[in-house]
Structure formats: structure tokens, C-alpha cells
Amino acid sequence: MPSVSAPRRTSRPPVEAKAGIPVAEAAVPVPRRALHKGQQTKATIVEAALNLATHIGLEGLSIGALAELTGMSKSGVFAHFGSREELQISVVHEYHDRFEQEVFYPALQASRGVARLRALFDNWMKRTSIELDSGCIYISGAVEFDDRTGPVRDALTASVQTWHAAMRRTIVQCRECGDLRADVDENQLLFEIHGLILALHYEARFLRNEGSMQRAIDGFESILARYARPA
Amino acid sequence: MPSVSAPRRTSRPPVEAKAGIPVAEAAVPVPRRALHKGQQTKATIVEAALNLATHIGLEGLSIGALAELTGMSKSGVFAHFGSREELQISVVHEYHDRFEQEVFYPALQASRGVARLRALFDNWMKRTSIELDSGCIYISGAVEFDDRTGPVRDALTASVQTWHAAMRRTIVQCRECGDLRADVDENQLLFEIHGLILALHYEARFLRNEGSMQRAIDGFESILARYARPA
């Protein structure tokens, strides 16, 4: 199964680990269990950091704030990340993984072509609608890091570009299988769809305009109609 | 001449004042001249604050930073604004006035209907393209204040909503004069156009994708084509 692809990953525990010590771990020697506990702790910190970052932005993160949130000592948190920057990058990778799990993978159940493009948009919309109450680090991060250089910006743009590349591949498949016109430019179509998501976030979350969700859906449908292969 | 309308305004000097003491002021008594000098100083601070805010955001502003930038004492800057919040609001109003001058008023030269809507979009694009190098407080401010309440957020949303209302009026005129279909929803059309501007800002400024400007222009043209009255 193709992946949105994960850029540089933080060391994360297996999913089961989040539900406690997995059965497979029952007989592992102490050293591995210790390592595993360390991974669990790191995952707990990243989870708290991601939750905080969606509300106040990646730049709002600090080792001190995370220590307070997780009830750990600053040195305890520091031991897992070494720097605020590494903590921010771990949050970007965690967000990337969740985006992949919630938006990308479920859409692969839909058949290639417009069905899958529609599934990707629907899942993206679902995620955006949840984030209307908190925030999206792809959007707040763009404002925080658009003027800067460095590894956090690089991790953030790599994550967004990876997602956009997956959208482009899906649009190209729509063209190849004849669902969309042969002259459809995947960059143009992605740009217009991305605009709908950004307008939804801006108008619903900041301006608090009623009906923004339906406008995004209607906009997507009319984009598809515009680029549909003539009958 | 209709205006985008100015929400609560900061006291600003007449435009000529920026070029020194205007001829009309030559014989004014000392008290008014004193007041006028105060207005000039305030305008200088607001100008420096706006320039700073487009780069680091409204939340990056501080009385201290402005004192440093303008070579004034903190108490000198404080005397003009009284609070950081009032300084931020003055910046929002200054930005509003400039947006009105650069984007709205020049478009009124175009005749009602699609010609004016096109002029508004062209001017909006011109302004956005300039802001790709600095930033736009309508976009960074949305991320900074979407979770908050208070007078700065209120000033920012009032300014954006006023601009959006002017766009809606222009779209309604397009419908009324028959340039666009009778069933065109001005909120839907504005949402889609706003999305193009947001996508341009995001993809050109943050992702640094080539060709974003042309994509926004092409997107606008195909929106117009989609909503044009059938021949």
C-alpha cells in the first residue's frame, strides 16, 4: 500500500503500546522494557505537545510548559528531546502520522479516480472541521515559519509537500482513468482545492461565518464539474 | 463615492502632513500646530508598528520595540497609545485604510459589474504579491486571534468583514447587471475567490511553489467562466 510517505520520523512506540504494555512484550528482558517505557513517556510528551501546539502554535511550545503539563521535571522532558526544536519537530512528525492515518489511508479504500479524490477531500474536510475548534499546525505553522529557515520549517514544509504530492498523484490518476479532462493540471486543481480548505478554516474559525462548511463542499463539487471529462 | 467604510478610526494626520507641514498649516496658531506635531509623531509610530507587524505579527508588537525603532522613549510612545492593545488596534486601522486606498478605491474607476470585480481581484492580487515578501496581518492576525476575544480581534474581524462586504456588494451588482448568472450566491463566490488569495499566500510564501500567482489568476478566470450568464 503506497504511503503519503513519512519524512524523518521520531522514534515512536508501536500503536499497541499506547494501550499499555502489549502482549508481545510480556516476556521481554528488562533493558528492552526500560527502552519501551522511555518510548511510552516520549509519546506521552509528544501527545501533550501536539495538543498544546494546535491551540497556541509550535512556537508556543517550551520544555517548561511540557514539564508542567505532563507533571515531569524539565530535565526529565529535556532528556527525551534535548532541545525545544527537537520537540517541535517531533510534534510535526506526530501530526504528519495522524494526518496520514485519518485522511490518506482510509481514502485508499475508494477506487482510483474521482471516488478516491472525493474520499481524500471528505477526510480532509472532516479533519478540518474538527480543527475549527482547536487549530491546524499546517496553517498556524505556515504563518509562524514562513519567514524563517531551519529544521522545524523544513519538517513542516516536507510534511505538507508530502501530503500535496499524494493529492497530485490522485488527481493524475483521475486524468489517466478518464474521470477528469485530459488537459487538467494537477497543480492547478490542487491549488483550488487547497484554497477551499484554507477559506473554510479562515471563515469558519476566525470570521465565524455560518455555512462555510457547505461552501467548501459546493466549491469542490463545482471544481469537479468544471474539470469533468465532457460526456 | 461609497467607501469600504472605516471602522473605529485612529486619529491620523491629513496625507499632506506626511510630507511635512502642509501649506494650509502655515498660519495656524501654536496649539493646533502642537496637536498636529503630535499627530505626525503618532503616525510615524503607527507606520513603524505596521511595518513590524507585517513581519512578526500584531502579537509581536510592544511599546518597547516601537520606542527602539522610532528612537523615542517608552514613555513617549506610551503617551500616544496608552496601551499595547491600543497600538495594535491603531495598526489594524492603518492597514484597513491602506487596503482601502490600494485595493478598493482604484477599482471604483471600473464600471459596475465584472469589470469592477476583476479590478478588485487584480488590486487584491497586487497587494498580496507585495505581501509575499513581508506578510499580511489579515492572514497572520487570523491565526494569532482566532482563539481569542477582545478589541484587537474585533478590530481585525471588523476590517476583514468590511472588505468582504464590499466584495459581496460588487458580486451582487454583477448579478443585477446580468454579467453573472441570476442564481449566483455572493457568499459562495466570495468564499471561492478568498480561497484563491489564501492559497496564493500559503503556496507562494510558505511552500515557495513556483507559478502560484498564475494559478490564482487562472482560478479566478475559471470561477468567472463558471458563474457567467449563459450566452
Lowest mean pLDDT among A157-166, B65-74, B161-170, B173-182: B65-74
**The predicted structure's pLDDT at residue A134:** 87
Nearest Cα neighbor of B151 from B58, B69, B215 is B58
Residues A203-221 have pLDDT tens digits of 999 999 999 999 999 999 9
A20: DSSP letter: S
Residues B66-94 have pLDDT tens digits of 999 999 999 999 999 889 999 999 999 99
Residues linked to residue A228 through DSSP beta bridges, in sequence order: A180
Contact check, Cβ <8 Å, A219/B160: no
Nearest Cα neighbor of A7 from A223, A159, A224 is A159
Is the pLDDT confidence value at B25 over 70?
Answer: no
Q: Read off the C-alpha cell for B209.
A: 511553489
**The predicted structure's pLDDT at residue B134:** 87
**The predicted structure's pLDDT at residue A231:** 73
Q: How far apart are CA B91 and CA B53, in angstroms?
A: 8
Give Cα separations from A181 to A141, A219, A224, A229, A230 (angstroms): 34, 18, 10, 4, 7
Average predicted confidence (pLDDT) for chain A: 86
3-state class of A10 per DSSP? Answer: coil
**The predicted structure's pLDDT at residue A13:** 36
**The predicted structure's pLDDT at residue A38:** 83
Compute the average pLDDT of residues A4-21. 39
Compute the average pLDDT of residues B8-20. 36
Compute the average pLDDT of residues A168-181. 97
**The predicted structure's pLDDT at residue B31:** 55
Whether the CA torsion A160, A94, A220, B179 is positive or negative: it is negative
**The predicted structure's pLDDT at residue B82:** 86
Give Cα separations from A165 to A13, A60, A97, B203 (angstroms): 27, 29, 15, 13
Lowest mean pLDDT among A108-122, B29-43, B111-125: B29-43
A159: DSSP letter: H
* Interface A-B: count of C-beta contacts within 8 A: 104
**The predicted structure's pLDDT at residue A14:** 34
Q: What is the CA radius of gyration of chain A?
A: 20
Q: Answer for the pair A196, A122: CB distance below 8 angstroms, yes or no.
A: no
pLDDT-derived band at A22, boundaries 50, 70, 90: very low
Contact check, Cβ <8 Å, A198/B203: no
Residues linked to residue B180 through DSSP beta bridges, in sequence order: B228
Contact check, Cβ <8 Å, A199/B195: yes
Query: pTM surpassing 0.90?
Result: no
Contact check, Cβ <8 Å, B219/A161: no
The B-side interface with A (CB below 8 A) comprises 55, 57, 135, 139-140, 142-147, 157, 160-161, 164, 187-188, 191-192, 194-199, 202-203, 205-207, 209, 211-212, 215-216, 218-219, 222, 226
B206: DSSP letter: I
Q: Answer for the pair A81, A63: CB distance below 8 angstroms, yes or no.
A: yes
Min Cα distance B151 → chain A (Å) is 14
Q: How far apart are CA A190 and CA A79, in angstroms?
A: 41
Residues A40-70 have pLDDT tens digits of 899 999 999 999 999 989 999 999 999 999 9
**Alpha helix positions (H), chain B:** 30-56, 63-70, 74-81, 84-99, 105-107, 114-131, 137-145, 151-176, 186-200, 212-227
Contact check, Cβ <8 Å, A202/B198: yes
Q: ipTM of the assembly?
A: 0.85
Q: Answer for the pair B206, A157: CB distance below 8 angstroms, yes or no.
A: yes
Contact check, Cβ <8 Å, B215/A161: no
Could you say which of B157, B202, B207 has the minimum Cβ distance to residue A207?
Answer: B157
3-state class of A228 per DSSP? Answer: strand
Compute the average pLDDT of residues B40-63. 92
Reported as type and span, the H/E element at residue B73 is: none
Residues A114-151 have pLDDT tens digits of 999 999 999 999 999 999 988 999 999 999 999 899 99
Is the pLDDT confidence value at B13 over 50?
Answer: no
**The predicted structure's pLDDT at residue B38:** 83
Q: Which residue of A has its CA nearest to B227?
A: A222
pLDDT-derived band at A230, boundaries 50, 70, 90: confident
